[in-house]
A and B are shown apart, each in its own frame.
Chain A
Amino acid sequence: MSRSNMARPAMAPWPLVMLAAPLLPFAMLDGAALYLPQIPVALALFALSVATILARRLPASALGEAVLLLVGVAAAYAAPLVLLNQGHALAQAGGLWLYLAGATLLLWRVLALLAGVTGPARLAGPALFGMALVLLWEILTRGFQVPTILLPPPSLVATAFAANAADLWDDFRQTVLISVLRGYLIGCGAGFLVAILADRVPFLARGLLPLGNLASAVPVVGIAPIMVMWFGFDWQSKAAVIVVMTFFPMLINTLAGLQSAERIQLDLMRSYGAGYWRTLAMLRLPCALPFLFNGLKINSTLALIGAIVAEFFGTPVVGMGFRISTQVARMNLDIVWATIAVAALTGSLLYGALALAERHVTAWHPSLRKR
Chain B
Amino acid sequence: MPAAQPAPLTLVPPAADTAPRTIVDIRNLTLTYQAADHPVYALSDVSLSIAKGDFISLIGPSGCGKTTLMRVVADLEQPTSGEVTVNGMTPEQARLKRAYGYVFQAPALYPWRTVERNVMLPLEIMGMPKADRQQRAREQLDLVGLSGFERKFPWQLSGGMQQRVSIARALAFDPDLLLMDEPFGALDEITRDHLNLQLTRLWLSTRKTCIFVTHSIAEAVFLSTRIVVMSPRPGRILDVIDCDRDLPRERTLDIRESPEFQRIAHRVREGLMEGHSYDD
Contact = CB atoms under 8 A, between A and B. Distances in A.
B255 interface: no
Given A273-B95, A283-B110, A364 B153 contact: yes
Contacts of B104: 264, 267-268
Contacts of B121: 272, 282
Given A268-B108, A272-B126, 10 more contacts: A262-B108, A265-B108, A267-B71, A267-B108, A272-B121, A272-B125, A273-B95, A278-B125, A283-B110, A286-B110
B156 A270 contact: no
Given A272-B122, A274-B125, A282-B125, A265 B112 contact: no
A270 B125 CA distance: 11
Contacts of A286: 110, 112
Interface of B: 71, 74-76, 95-98, 100-102, 104, 106, 108, 110-112, 121-122, 124-126, 153, 155-156
Which of A289, A364, A365, A371 lies at the interface centre, i.e. has the most chain B CB atoms within 10 A of its CB?
Answer: A364
Contact of B102 (A262, A271, A282, A289): A271
A283 B102 CA distance: 17
Contacts of B100: 271
Given A271-B102, A278-B125, A265 B110 contact: yes
Contacts of B124: 282
Interface residues of A, number: 21
B112 A362 contact: yes
Interface of A: 262, 264-265, 267-268, 270-274, 278, 282-283, 286, 289, 362, 364-366, 369, 371
29 contacts: A262-B108, A264-B104, A265-B108, A267-B71, A267-B108, A268-B102, A270-B75, A270-B95, A271-B74, A271-B100, A271-B102, A272-B98, A272-B121, A272-B122, A272-B125, A272-B126, A273-B95, A273-B96, A274-B125, A282-B124, A283-B110, A286-B110, A362-B112, A364-B112, A364-B153, A365-B111, A366-B155, A369-B155, A371-B156
Contacts of B108: 262, 264-265, 267-268
Contacts of A365: 111
A272 B108 CA distance: 13
Contacts of B96: 273
A364 B155 contact: yes
Given A364-B155, A369-B155, A371-B156, A270 B76 contact: yes
Contacts of A273: 95-98, 125
